[in-house]
């Protein structure tokens, strides 16, 4: 396939490289002038999209997505699949999809899970929203860039799935960290805590696969001084998107609201550049300060 790829950052660059390695002809554009071996450089986003069978975008936010789609949709080839892998608000995803559909294109919103490591290894999970025809055309590319793609329904539903999933993740990580901090205060050994919770009703991905306590459970960022696997800033972005969606849908998300406020405080209080699980040492330090 002839593919245009717009947004060659930490995620987009390895995704584009995997498409090249699979034998596809990829033309790329990034405002920062990033180059990827094997990817032909376009002078602007519209040129990257012109005459392509598929166009993939990986962009920072909904406003930029809307701006880029206003440039690339008029240049799109009728029947081309437009796959947006950004994590943005649902309203922007649906607005971009509507613009593409009106132009005879096949839009798919397909945010990803798996991080930079998954992008490099081609093991991402895609949560996709769009028509059956659009998903079918995008599916072979998902197979190259990832290990799983779930068709979540109509345009915007991929973003809805990502936002709901990450709201759960933010809430459960805060709860997991609070439980470890409480266990410390109660004199409960962290390993014993993990051994019980990881096999009992309190188990979760935050505990079992991504334990925030160093030296406990499988290897995680906690074992590397909380160097980000998933940065606290990105968790905050996703939680804010969840609350924006909740406001738009008139949905009650009190725990999501509390988790958002918690990460806002964490990021503003030195959490920038740390993994989102680094709330645990912050809680422990806070308890020490309170004791003093």
What is the band of 292 on the pLDDT scale with cuts at 50, 70, 90? very low
pTM: 0.90
For 236-272, write each residue's pLDDT tens digit. 999 999 999 999 999 999 999 999 999 999 999 999 9
Annotated catalytic residue 2: no
Looking at per-residue pLDDT, the higher value among 191 and 288 belongs to: 191
- Residue 172 CA, chain-centre distance (Å), reads 17
Q: Is a pLDDT exceeding 60 seen at residue 290? A: no
59, β-bridge pairs: none
- Residue 141 CA, chain-centre distance (Å), reads 18
Residue 116 has which token pair?
């930079």
Q: Is a pLDDT exceeding 90 seen at residue 289? A: no
What confidence score (pLDDT) does residue 266 get? 97
What confidence score (pLDDT) does residue 150 get? 98
Backbone angles phi, psi at 114, to 5 degrees: 135, -15
Contact 222, 194 (CB under 8 A): no
28, β-bridge pairs: 5, 41
Average pLDDT over residues 144-159: 97
Of 162, 185, 274, 286, the catalytic one is 162
C-alpha 279/C-alpha 289 separation (Å) is 15
**Domains of the chain: residue spans and CATH:** 2-154 (3.40.50.720), 160-285 (1.10.1040.10)
Q: Is a pLDDT exceeding 80 seen at residue 110? A: yes
What confidence score (pLDDT) does residue 115 get? 86
Query: Which bin fits 15, alpha (ψ -120 to 50), beta or left (φ > 0)?
Result: alpha
Average pLDDT over residues 128-156: 98
Contact 37, 58 (CB under 8 A): no
Average pLDDT over residues 162-172: 96
Kind of pairing, strands 124-130 and 112-113? antiparallel
Average pLDDT over residues 146-174: 97
What confidence score (pLDDT) does residue 17 get? 97
């Amino acid at each position: 396939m002839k593919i245009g790829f717009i947004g060659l950052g930490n995620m987009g660059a390895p995704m584009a490289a995997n498409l090249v390695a699979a034998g596809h002809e990829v033309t790329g554009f990034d405002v920062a002038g990033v180059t990827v071996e094997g990817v032909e450089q376009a002078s602007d986003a519209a040129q990257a999209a012109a005459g392509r069978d598929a166009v993939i975008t990986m962009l920072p936010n909904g406003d930029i997505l809307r701006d880029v789609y206003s440039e690339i949709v008029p240049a799109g080839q009728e029947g081309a699949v437009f796959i947006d892998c950004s994590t943005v608000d649902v309203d922007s995803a649906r607005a971009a999809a509507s613009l593409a559909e009106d132009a005879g294109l096949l839009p798919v919103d397909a945010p990803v899970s798996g991080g930079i490591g998954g992008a490099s290894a081609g093991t991402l999970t895609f949560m996709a929203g769009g028509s059956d025809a659009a998903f079918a055309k995008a599916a072979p590319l998902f197979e190259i860039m990832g290990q799983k793609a779930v068709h979540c329904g109509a345009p915007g539903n991929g973003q809805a799935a990502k936002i709901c999933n990450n709201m759960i993740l933010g809430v459960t990580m805060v709860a997991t960290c609070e439980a470890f901090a409480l266990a410390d205060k109660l004199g409960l050994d962290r390993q014993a805590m993990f051994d019980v919770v990881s096999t009992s009703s309190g188990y979760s991905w935050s505990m079992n696969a991504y334990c925030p306590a160093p030296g406990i459970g499988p290897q995680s960022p906690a074992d590397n001084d909380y160097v980000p696997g998933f940065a606290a800033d990105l968790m905050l972005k996703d939680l804010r998107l969840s609350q924006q969606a909740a406001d738009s849908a008139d949905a009650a998300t009190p725990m999501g609201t509390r988790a958002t406020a918690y990460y806002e405080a964490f990021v503003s209080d030195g959490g920038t550049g740390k993994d989102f699980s680094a709330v645990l040492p912050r809680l422990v330090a806070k308890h020490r300060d309170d004791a003093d």
